[in-house]
Amino acid sequence: MHAQIVLFDGFDPLDVIAPYEVLYAGGTASAGAVSVELVSAEGPREVVGGTGGLALRATAALDPGRAGLILVPGASGRVGEPGEVPDHDAGAGEWQQDEFIPVLLGRALATELPALLKAALDNPEVTVGTVCGGSLVLAMAGLLEGRHATTHHLGLDMLDATGVHAVSARVVDDGDLVTGAGVTSGLDLGLYLLEREVGPRIAHAVEELFAHERRGTVWRNKGPEPAGF
């Protein structure tokens, strides 16, 4: 499995680093059955994250035609108070410290990223994963209507408003779409994908290496509906 982790201006570094390290360790434990790289819609470049201006380097352009996994992080910035709106010039120019998360996501939507993600979702050989607000990037682009997905708990209502079946779970498996909730869920998402795609023994070995037990039940749209309680 080859994994492409997407960088865009204002990305949340932990959304990227947590699954990157899990998948990279999975590649080591599986004698190279998993590979991972950082990509961007624009190609190789330094990409500035939303936490203190921390930058990571994308080494290639996102390729939706390549079989494997494409993983989209969320953004790191200000959530804002209820009713607070960005200034009229918010989003203009380059990344600035403490920008609103919706502004950062909106800026990502103004790039080639949505078209590339649509092509990835249309490719039967690609699984698309997201961490935190990464699912909102796809949802705001109109790519997840009718699908089951999760995001950070503060964004579940927004996710639901786009026509997504928002699920309050740490990891949601909807077939070729696997989504994670808050930022640290990137560890659990990565471990689940290792288990699903490579096998539980590899995932368990990485769990032991990282001294982290995967949290929560992975939600899938299977089995009987639970009774109300």
- pLDDT, residue 189, reads 98
* Phi (first) and psi of residue 45, to 5 degrees: -175, 160
- pLDDT, residue 90, reads 47
Of the candidates 127, 139, 147, the residue with the CA atom closest to the CA atom of residue 192: 127
Domains with residue ranges and CATH for the chain: 2-77+96-220 (3.40.50.880)
The Cα–Cα gap between 149 and 165 comes to 6
pTM over 0.95: no
- By CB neighbour count within 10 A (0-12 exposed, 13-18 middle, 19+ buried), where does 175 fall? exposed
The CA angle 195-223-127, to the nearest 5 degrees, is 40
Average pLDDT, the chain: 92
The Cα–Cα gap between 91 and 111 comes to 13
pLDDT in tens, 19-32: 999 999 999 999 99
pLDDT in tens, 118-169: 999 999 999 999 999 999 999 999 999 999 999 999 999 999 999 999 999 9
pLDDT in tens, 7-60: 999 999 999 999 999 999 999 999 999 999 999 999 999 999 999 989 999 999
